[in-house]
Amino acid sequence: MNLSDYYAITPLVFLVCWAIFLLLVDLWIPAGRKGITALLSAAGLLIALVLVLRSGEQVLTAFEGSVVVDGFSVFLSVLFLVSALAGIALAHDYLQRLGLERGEYYPLLLISTSGMMLMTYAYDLIEVFLALELLSIPLYILAGFSRLNLESEEASLKYFLLGAFSSGFVLYGVGLVFAATGYTDFPGIAKAAQNGSLNPTLFLIGAGLVLTGFGFKSALVPFHMWSPDVYQGAPSPVTAFMSVGAKAAGFAALLRVFVVVFPGMSVNLTPLLWALAALTMFVGNIVALVQSNIKRLLAYSSIAHSGYLLMAFVPYGNASVRSDAIAGMLFYLAAYCLTTFGAWAVVIALEKAEGKGLELEDYAGLGHRYPFLAATMTIFLLSFTGVPLTLGFWGKFYLFSTAVEGGFWQLALIGLLTSLISAYYYLRVVVIMYMRPGTPQVQRNFWPLLTSGVGALAVVILGIAPGVLLNLAVSALLKGL
Amino acid sequence: MTIMQIIFLITASVTLFAALMVVSTRKMMHAAMWLILVLFGVTITFALLETRFFAIVQLVIYIGAIAILIIFAVMLTRRSMNADVPQVNRNWWLVMVSSLALFVGLVTVMSVWEGFFVTARTAPPGGENLVQLGTALVDPNGFVLPFEVASLVLLAAMVGAIYVAAERKEK
Amino acid sequence: MLSDWLYVGIFLVIATFLPFVAITLAGILGPKKPNRLKSTIYECGIETVGETWVQFRAQYYIFALVFVVFDVETVLLYPWAVAYNQLGLFAVAEAVLFVLILFAALVYAWRKGALRWF
């Protein structure tokens, strides 16, 4: 045994231990005082965050190379931990208000987060699959956390059935890749791919199946069917966490697996990825136009953002563009994370029991009654649209320029066009908030307000000085690149 | 044709027929019973490949535990024996055509591979090497991390399932 | 080789054959004098009231579920147990950790009352 193996994954080990500890401690915390669990879980996440940042930029490999800790995984781990913190900040009061206060929320959230972190460390297809399960299973439960609410149950069931189905795809793909090469670890497969000592047909089908499975997780069209219903039915803090965490984890897996394992497959996969990206951008944005429920609107908008992200991934086989693509995607994921949590915090502040307060009309008059909330929401929506000088603009700018650099200007054009379309439905919310008279009711609670405030501040500051975040994203390199 | 091939063909056809019955019978309890037959067919297939461990795992986990779980789940539903809702929706033929196309496509593509026509390799006499598997599962250079993560996945699944299914007594 | 499985197969055939023969023989040899009372469905001698396919308690499901989890645990630990003699202390610690994680699940199930019938 080798202690340095465990040293490399300390944050993960700590987070898992903390989750189990919380699960047990929570059993003896009386109902109604679950704030303690929330605080404890937040403390655990903060410690894990410190542990992650401690390992810094150095590249560590552990467990015979089946785990890799590099800048890429550190960047994404921080993103996941921050998402989990936001998920807790948004949840506590929300759960209390809707009569759902159960301690299980926090350990499940932590376990899901550890699954996401494992996904960024994984350097072996078996681990990728297990990480996928580890992050998904708690999310299935969390989506149905509001047990007695039929919509929430439906969301949970739908997510579970389709998620299990997509896990099956990934597993089948992993099996075929193993059959084709005889390896499950990334270096082994990559070596076999270079030697040509593999079966190209099985390998390609395997890669396609793995792509399908990750596509489900990241809600790419045509594997997006579950996402609007699940996003709408699940409790809002869960939706926020899911739309950031699960998506980022899906893209992390996509990046790691495809860049390291399937670079040679890019010739065959590029047209497929191209079509997926274009479809995702179109469908997400166009269907979002007709939504009147804010949760569904954000769901379709998140599908559209998957499309933008995938666009930068299309030229991944091109070695000169690859590092730019990864940096652009990481930057966009960070921007998307900040913006999404901020927007969901505003949604949560307006949401009332039994799914009331979620229609766009409920936002009428917000600009006059609650200028702070309306202002932050406006910032987030502008950032989603990609209006210049917001963080979202820079995110899209890097993604589009990567696509152009890789020779896919048509995709960038589609991205630009669909962004224009998206301006309509994002700005419609702004118009409703400021131009329509109404008396919105807001739940004044510190944590959601803090989340949206911090989010707005970050979006504005980083929008003015995107270099800081970009430098971090650029230095967050994948091992072996 | 050897005896083994005959046994395999019988097993395979029974398994496929049972699988067809699982999705086509109208009574959910009967579907669960057919499912057990399917799983048993898979067990025999594993046995034919000389993989003792996996044959037993198939028997113990899938028939012994999961099939029972499914039967209990069927018992939870209200109309398990007289489903009067339509079994298929309007697009059933579309799905049938596309899944058939996928099947034919996969088989055609894979048949290009020479390994497609090679007789399946069986495990060495005496079954697979369990000692090697056991050592690898807890070896830091092997699969110790997936092993522990599997335990964690089980934990999450159990907590979640209890959370979803448990009746609220405290209320 | 396959002869081990042959024995299993023979046992299976006998095991299915015997009850089949017993029931068929009883059907052929037994005298048949049905009346209305005899032909009714019975369960422990008491006539059933209403539909027999009722909705069962969720508790059955939870028990089966806990069983599945520990069944899977058994399967994962089985190869480990076979290899036990060749393993070091570290490997044993790993398996203990594995069991401990699931023990947490058991504690959870116990505290949530999932192990109680009523």
Instruction: List pLDDT tens digits, range A50-103.
Output: 999 887 667 888 887 788 888 888 999 999 999 999 999 999 888 888 888 888
Q: Pick B155's closest partner by Cβ from C61, C65, C104.
A: C104
The ipTM value here is 0.89
Report residue A456 as tokens. 């707005």
Query: Phi-psi bin for A196: left (phi > 0), alpha (psi -120 to 50), beta?
Result: left
Query: Exposed, middle or buried by CB within 10 Å (0-12, 13-18, 19+), for C25?
Result: exposed
Which of C7, C78, C110 to probe the B interface (max B CBs under 10 A)? C78
Partner residue facing A130 (CB), from B142, B153, B160:
B153
| Residue A42 structure tokens | 């937040």
Sign of CA dihedral A253, A258, A262, A263: negative
pLDDT at A298: 92
Cβ within 8 Å, pair B109-A201: yes
Q: Does A1 touch chain C (CB under 8 A)?
A: yes
Give the CATH number of domain C2-112: 1.20.58
- Report pLDDT digits (tens) over C26-47: 888 888 888 887 777 666 666 6
CB-based contact A24 C90, cutoff 8 Å: no
pLDDT value at B171 more than 50: no
- Nearest chain B residue to A23 by CA distance is B159
pLDDT of res. A304: 93
Task: For B105-130, write each residue's pLDDT tens digit.
Answer: 888 877 877 777 777 677 776 667 88
Tens-digit pLDDT string for chain A (481 aa): 567 777 888 899 999 999 999 999 999 988 878 888 999 999 999 999 999 988 766 788 888 778 888 888 899 999 999 999 999 999 988 888 888 888 889 999 999 999 999 999 999 999 999 999 999 999 999 998 887 788 888 899 999 999 999 999 999 999 989 988 888 888 888 888 888 777 787 888 888 899 999 998 888 888 888 899 999 999 999 999 999 999 999 999 988 888 888 777 777 888 889 999 999 999 999 999 998 899 999 999 999 999 999 998 888 878 788 888 889 999 999 999 999 999 999 999 888 877 788 888 888 888 888 888 899 999 999 999 988 888 999 999 999 998 998 888 899 999 999 999 999 999 999 999 998 888 888 877 888 889 999 999 999 999 888 888 888 888 877 766 5
B104 touches chain C (CB under 8 A): no
For B40, the token pair is: 């048993």
Contact A186, A261 (CB under 8 A): yes
- Report the C-alpha gap between B19 and B35 in whole angstroms: 7
Residues in chain C closer than 8 A to B125 (CB atoms): 1
Q: Which domains does chain B have, with CATH numbers?
A: 3-88 (1.20.120.1200)
pLDDT > 70: percent of chain B: 88
Cross-strand pairs, A356: A352
Residue of A nearest to C106 (CA): A24
Please state whether the predicted TM-score (pTM) of the whole model is above 0.80: yes
Q: Give the Cα separation of A334 and A244 in Å (integer).
A: 9
CA distance B121 to chain C (A): 14
The residue extents of the domains of chain C are 2-112
SS3 category, A251: helix
Number of other CB atoms surrounding residue B126 within 10 Å: 11
- CB contacts, 8 Å: C114 with chain B: 162, 166
pLDDT at B136 (0 to 100): 85
Q: Is A133 in Cβ contact with B140 (below 8 Å)?
A: no
For residue A426, with 0-12 CB atoms within 10 Å meaning exposed, 13-18 middle and 19 or more buried, which class applies? buried
Searching chain C, which residue's CA lies closest to the CA of residue B138?
Answer: C91
Which member of C90, C101, C111 has the closest CB to residue A20? C101
Name, in order, each residue with C-beta under 8 angstroms of A475's C-beta and a sequence gap of 6 or more.
A57, A71
- Which stretches of chain C drop beneath a pLDDT of 70? 1-3, 41-48, 51-52, 118
Residue A355 CA: distances (Å) to CA of A294, B113, B163: 11, 54, 22
A268: number of Cβ within 10 Å: 15
Residue with tokens 């092993």: B147
Q: Which of A5, A129, A134 to mutate to test the interface with B (most CBs of B within 10 A)?
A: A134
C-alpha–C-alpha distance, residues A114 and B151, integer Å: 14
* pLDDT for res C46: 66
- The length of chain C is 118
Give me the percent of chain A exceeding a pLDDT of 90: 47
Compute the distance between CA of residue A341 and CA of residue A304 in angstroms, rounded to an integer. 17
